[in-house]
Amino acid sequence: MSDPVWTEIDRYVTDLLAPHDEGLEAALRASVEAGLPQIQVSPPQGKLLQLLAQVRGAKSILELGTLGGYSTIWLARALPPGGRVVTVEADPRYAEVARASIERAGVGELVELRVGPALEVLPDLAAEEAGPFDLTFIDADKVNTPEYFAWALDHSASGGLIIADNVVRGGTLANPDSDDPNARAQRRLHEMLATEPRVSATTIQTVGSKGYDGFTLAMIR
Ligand code: SAH
Ligand code: DHB
Ligand code: MG
């Protein structure tokens, strides 16, 4: 599902409210040149992540799914001095592109990039007591979003935010008969949220340059 108007509006909003600095622009260019899939958050979505981190006063951020580091840079730019983003990427080639872009953007000191499947890296982070996190952005393999959410819940600060990307993709979220494992995982996430007393959450559908999708925002009570 897509509409040229959605892209046009994203471009309009981007130009006025979410323009790229050199670091973000170079990160996108590097990602295209390296042949990475162009599935990073849109500029208005990157700006939303940054605003949420700032509203929360986040000092400690966790991201699952770095890709070329584009969303990482938006998030890192929200940090106060001494803050930290831990970002996890399974693909070593993507991680190398991200590492260079993060350095180039001048936020290398604030970002710790961990390479490996998140389900393997998260236990290491727990052992290192890397948390608690003020904001977690879940944007890796969608089938594991509920597992990542459960982990984030146990490693979030009180008042912390958890954002899960791509929960609506294809509009299958409300279809109980879908046999798409990704869609089923997003339903599992929502069922978990419905009965989880530790969080207050909602899901917002979105349209834009990335088509029709949506994200879940949860706050730890
Ligand atoms: N957050 C990025 C986009 C991430 S795209 C941005 O907006 O700029 C999803 C990323 O998750 C891809 O880079 C993919 O390689 C990575 N990924 C897939 N499975 C993963 C896993 N099991 N653990 C960590 N990362 C994973
Ligand atoms: C895909 C992944 C994403 O995180 C996203 O925002 C859009 C698409 C994908 O794997 O196709
Ligand atoms: Mg995404």
Tens of pLDDT, residues 91-142: 999 999 999 999 999 999 999 999 999 999 999 999 999 999 999 999 999 9
> Which residue out of 2, 38, 39, 141 has the highest number of ligand 2 atoms within 8 Å of its CB and is therefore the one to mutate?
39
Q: For residue range 15-63, list pLDDT tens digits in order.
A: 999 999 999 999 999 999 999 999 999 999 999 999 999 999 999 999 9
Model confidence at 170: pLDDT above 80:
no
pLDDT above 80: residue 1: no
| Closest C-alpha to ligand 2, atom 3 | 39
- Residue 165's nearest CA partner among 202, 212, 216, 218 is 216
What one-letter code names the amino acid at 221? R
Binding site membership of 139 for ligand 2 (Cβ less than 6 Å): yes
| Percent of the chain surpassing pLDDT 90 | 97
Q: Which atom of ligand 2 is nearest to the CA of 67?
A: 4
The whole-number pLDDT of residue 51 equals: 98
How are strands ordered across the β-sheet holding 156-164?
111-115, 84-89, 60-64, 133-138, 156-164, 211-220, 199-208
pLDDT tier at 178 (50, 70, 90 boundaries)? very high
